[in-house]
C-alpha cells in the first residue's frame, strides 16, 4: 500500500514500512505454511479457488483484514473494525471486472424470477434497487496532508502562502491553457471571465435558460443584459443555430454551458462567434475533464470556467477556477479577482475588481482533488456507460444520444422512457422508478431561469430595475423555447457520483426494465383488441350480436398510472 507518507508492505512472514522490516517473527517452517495458506486465501477471495479451509478464528481475522483492504481501496479512506459495510465489498470495488468461473466448476442453476420480483414496488413488489450510491466526495490523506501543512504554516491567505499559486499552475497545465485564476466559487469564476473581457454596461450576453442562476448573476453584476438561446431537445445544450437567432449588434459574449458534463457542439459555435467577433466563455462547472475532438472543454473559448462546489466532480467545498486562453486577458483576469490590485506597484488599484481570492485551505484540498480527478472521472464514465449499454437493450428506454465527437464527464445522467411507446405519462414512470429505489429528478429545473422572481419582478439594484429599465426589455416567454420544454419533459435525471459503480448501473437498469415492461403487456392487450373490434364493427348486425346502438365492445380502462 502506498500513501503520501510512504509504503507499507505486508507478506505472510513480515511487514515493512518504507522497505524497513518492522516485524519478522516466523520460523522457516511456519513461514512456508503461512505463505501457502495466504496464497490459497487470495485465490479464494479472487474467485479462482472454490473453497478455503482454516480454523475459524484465523480465517475470520484474515477475511476481515482482506475485506477491509478492499473497502479502503474502494472508498479511498481509512476504515475501522468491524466493517460497517456488510455487503459484497470485493464486487463493489471490481464490479466491472469479468466474472469467470474456473473450468470444472458447476454452472449455477437458472432461477426463475418470483412474482414478487417482477411486480412493481409501487404495487407492493420487491424493490429492484436495494442500495444507492453515496454522493459524498472522495477525500482522504492527500487532502488532509496538504491541509495540515497549511494549518501548521499558519499562512492561510494566498497572499502569504503558495497553495493557490500551485493550484493555478497545475490546473492550467492539466488543461494545456496559458493560465488559470482561482476564485471563491463557480459563479465568481464566470464573473472573473466577464471582468476580463470588460463588457460595456447594457451589452448583451447570450446564455441558456437551462442553467443555475450562478451563470446569470455575473451578467447582471456587470450591468449587462442576459439573453437566452434555446437548447437542443436531446442534449440540453445550446447550438450554433439557437445562438445565431439571438445575436444582435449589442451581443458582446456567449456563456456556453456544457450541461451535465456533455460537451456542446463546439466547432460550429466557435466558427459562428469568430465571424461576429463575439467572445466565447465556456461554463464547464459540470464538465471537468470532458473532451471534444480529443481536446478538453474549457480550452476552446477565450476563457473557461469551473466550479469546485461540493457536488462537482472535484471539490473543495466551494471554489472556482477560470482558464485563460488569450495572452492579452491573463493580467486583467488575475487582477479582477484581487480588487484590481497591481501588487507590483504597491498599494495601487488599476480598475474596479472583486475580492474573490481563494484561501490556502481551499487550494490545499483542491490540489489533492486534482490529483484524483482522472480516476474519479474514469469511475463516472465506467458506470454511466454501463447504464447506457443496459438501456439500449430495454424496449422503450431512451438512453443518452451517442457522443461520437467527444467524451462526457457525467455530472447528471439524463435518459428517457418513450411516452408514445408506453402510452403513459413520464411522471407516472418517475413515480414507479422512485418506488423501485431509483433516486431521480423528474425535471432538472422547476422553470427556465428567466422565470425566477428576480427576473419576473426585476429585483436587481434597489427599485431601479437596472439594467433592464435602461433598455427596451421584453421578458422572454417559455413557449418561445420549445427545446427547453422538450428536454425537461422528455427526460428523467439521475444525479451521478464519483461513487457510482457498475453494479449500481445494473440495478438501475433492472428497475427501468421492470417499470417499462410492466406497461407493455397492457399495450399489447389493447393492440390485440383493435382488430377484433374493427371486425365486429364491419359485420352486419344480427339478433345475437350487440349492435353499436346497444353498447360497444368493452375495452379495459386506464390504470391508476394513466394509460
pLDDT of residue 538: 43
What sign does the dihedral 63-65-69-72 (CA atoms) show? positive
| Banded pLDDT at 222 (limits 50, 70, 90) | very high
pLDDT of residue 104: 52
pLDDT of residue 394: 94
**In order of start, what are the domains of the chain with their CATH numbers?**
2-93 (no CATH), 141-371 (3.40.640.10)
The neighbour count for residue 257, using CB atoms within 10 Å, is 24
Q: In 3-state terms, what secondary structure has residue 8?
A: strand
| Banded pLDDT at 561 (limits 50, 70, 90) | very low
Distance CA 308, CA 81 (A): 33
Distances (CA, A) of 468 to 9, 248, 457, 472: 66, 16, 11, 8
Q: What is the mean pLDDT of the chain?
A: 85
| Banded pLDDT at 562 (limits 50, 70, 90) | very low
pLDDT of residue 311: 97
Rounded to a whole number, what is the distance in angstroms from the first to the last CA of the chain? 56
* Pairing outcome for strands 20-23 and 15-17: antiparallel
Please say whether the beta carbons of 409 and 380 come within 8 A. Answer: yes
- Residue 489: is it exposed, middle or buried by C-beta count within 10 angstroms (0-12/13-18/19+)? middle
Section 209-229 average pLDDT: 98
- Where b means 16+ CB within 10 Å and e means fewer, 4-42 reads eeeeeeeebbeeeeeeeeeeeebeeeebeeeeebbeebe
Percentage of the chain modeled with pLDDT above 70: 77
pLDDT of residue 100: 47
pLDDT of residue 118: 79
The neighbour count for residue 151, using CB atoms within 10 Å, is 13
Residue that the C-alpha cell 432538472 belongs to: 444
Choice among 70-74, 106-110, 245-249 with the minimum mean pLDDT: 106-110
| Banded pLDDT at 161 (limits 50, 70, 90) | very high
Distance CA 442, CA 494 (A): 9
- 460 pLDDT above the threshold of 70: yes
Collect all residues with Cβ–Cβ distance below 8 Å to 541 and sequence separation of at least 6. 547
Please say whether the beta carbons of 190 and 283 come within 8 A. Answer: yes
Distances (CA, A) of 109 to 45, 112, 220, 383: 22, 10, 65, 28
Section 544-549 average pLDDT: 32
pLDDT of residue 88: 65
| Banded pLDDT at 49 (limits 50, 70, 90) | confident
| Banded pLDDT at 302 (limits 50, 70, 90) | very high
Confidence (pTM): 0.74
262 against 536, higher pLDDT = 262
What sign does the dihedral 381-384-387-389 (CA atoms) show? negative
Please say whether the beta carbons of 93 and 75 come within 8 A. Answer: no
Section 302-308 average pLDDT: 98
**Which of these, 478, 427, 423, lies nearest to 456 by C-alpha position?**
478
The DSSP code sequence of 404-427 is TTEE---SEEEEEE-HHHHTS-HH
Section 34-41 average pLDDT: 74
What sign does the dihedral 169-175-177-179 (CA atoms) show? negative
Amino acid at each position: 500500500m502506498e500513501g503520501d507518507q510512504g509504503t507499507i508492505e505486508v507478506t505472510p512472514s513480515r511487514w515493512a514500512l518504507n522497505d524497513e522490516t518492522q516485524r519478522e517473527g516466523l520460523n522457516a517452517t511456519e513461514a512456508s505454511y503461512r505463505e501457502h495458506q495466504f496464497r490459497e486465501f487470495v485465490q479464494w477471495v479472487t474467485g479462482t479457488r472454490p473453497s478455503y479451509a482454516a480454523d475459524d478464528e484465523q480465517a475470520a481475522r484474515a477475511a476481515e483484514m482482506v475485506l477491509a483492504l478492499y473497502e479502503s481501496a474502494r472508498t479511498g479512506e481509512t476504515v475501522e473494525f468491524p466493517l460497517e459495510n456488510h455487503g459484497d465489498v470485493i464486487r463493489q470495488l471490481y464490479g466491472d471486472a469479468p466474472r469467470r468461473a474456473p473450468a470444472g466448476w458447476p454452472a449455477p442453476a437458472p432461477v426463475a424470477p418470483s412474482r414478487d420480483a417482477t411486480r412493481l414496488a409501487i404495487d407492493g413488489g420487491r424493490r429492484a434497487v436495494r442500495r444507492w450510491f453515496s454522493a459524498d466526495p472522495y477525500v482522504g490523506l492527500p487532502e488532509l496532508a496538504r491541509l495540515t501543512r497549511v494549518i501548521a504554516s499558519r499562512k492561510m491567505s494566498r497572499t502569504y502562502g503558495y497553495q493557490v499559486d500551485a493550484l493555478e499552475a497545475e490546473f492550467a497545465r492539466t488543461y494545456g491553457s496559458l493560465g488559470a485564476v482561482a476564485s471563491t466559487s463557480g459563479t465568481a469564476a464566470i464573473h472573473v471571465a466577464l471582468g476580463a473581457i470588460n463588457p460595456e454596461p447594457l451589452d448583451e450576453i447570450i446564455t441558456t435558460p437551462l442553467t443555475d442562476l450562478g451563470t446569470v448573476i455575473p451578467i447582471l453584476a456587470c450591468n449587462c443584459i442576459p439573453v437566452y438561446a434555446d437548447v437542443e431537445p436531446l442534449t440540453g445544450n445550446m447550438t450554433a443555430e439557437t445562438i445565431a437567432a439571438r445575436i444582435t449588434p449589442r451581443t458582446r459574449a456567449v456563456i456556453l454551458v456544457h450541461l451535465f458534463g456533455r460537451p456542446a457542439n463546439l466547432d460550429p459555435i466557435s466558427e459562428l462567434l469568430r465571424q461576429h467577433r463575439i467572445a466565447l466563455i465556456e461554463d464547464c462547472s459540470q464538465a471537468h475533464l470532458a473532451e471534444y475532438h480529443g481536446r478538453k472543454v474549457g480550452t476552446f473559448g477565450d476563457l473557461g470556467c469551473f466550479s469546485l462546489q461540493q457536488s462537482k466532480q472535484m471539490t473543495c467545498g466551494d471554489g472556482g477556477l477560470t482558464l485563460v486562453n488569450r495572452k492579452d486577458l491573463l493580467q486583467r483576469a488575475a487582477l479582477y479577482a484581487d480588487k484590481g490590485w497591481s501588487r507590483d506597484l504597491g498599494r495601487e488599484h488599476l480598475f474596479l475588481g472583486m475580492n474573490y481570492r481563494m484561501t490556502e485551505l481551499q487550494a490545499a484540498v483542491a490540489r489533492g482533488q486534482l490529483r484524483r480527478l482522472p480516476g474519479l472521472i474514469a469511475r463516472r464514465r465506467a458506470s454511466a456507460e454501463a447504464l447506457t449499454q443496459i438501456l439500449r437493450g430495454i424496449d422503450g428506454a431512451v438512453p443518452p444520444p451517442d457522443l461520437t465527437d467527444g467524451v462526457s464527464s457525467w455530472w447528471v445522467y439524463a435518459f428517457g422512457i418513450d411516452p408514445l411507446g408506453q402510452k403513459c405519462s413520464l411522471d407516472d414512470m418517475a413515480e414507479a422508478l422512485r418506488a423501485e429505489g431509483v433516486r431521480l429528478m423528474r425535471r432538472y429545473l422547476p422553470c427556465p431561469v428567466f422565470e425566477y422572481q428576480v427576473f419576473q419582478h426585476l429585483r436587481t439594484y434597489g427599485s431601479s430595475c437596472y439594467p433592464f429599465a435602461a433598455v427596451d426589455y421584453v421578458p422572454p416567454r417559455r413557449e418561445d423555447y420549445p427545446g427547453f420544454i422538450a428536454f425537461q419533459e422528455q427526460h428523467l435525471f439521475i444525479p451521478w457520483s464519483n461513487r457510482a459503480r457498475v453494479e449500481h448501473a445494473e440495478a438501475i437498469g433492472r428497475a427501468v426494465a421492470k417499470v417499462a415492461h410492466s406497461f407493455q403487456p397492457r399495450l399489447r392487450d389493447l393492440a390485440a383488441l383493435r382488430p377484433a373490434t374493427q371486425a365486429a364493427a364491419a359485420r352486419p348486425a344480427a339478433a345475437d350480436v350487440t349492435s353499436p346502438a346497444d353498447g360497444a365492445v368493452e375495452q379495459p380502462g386506464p390504470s391508476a398510472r394513466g394509460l
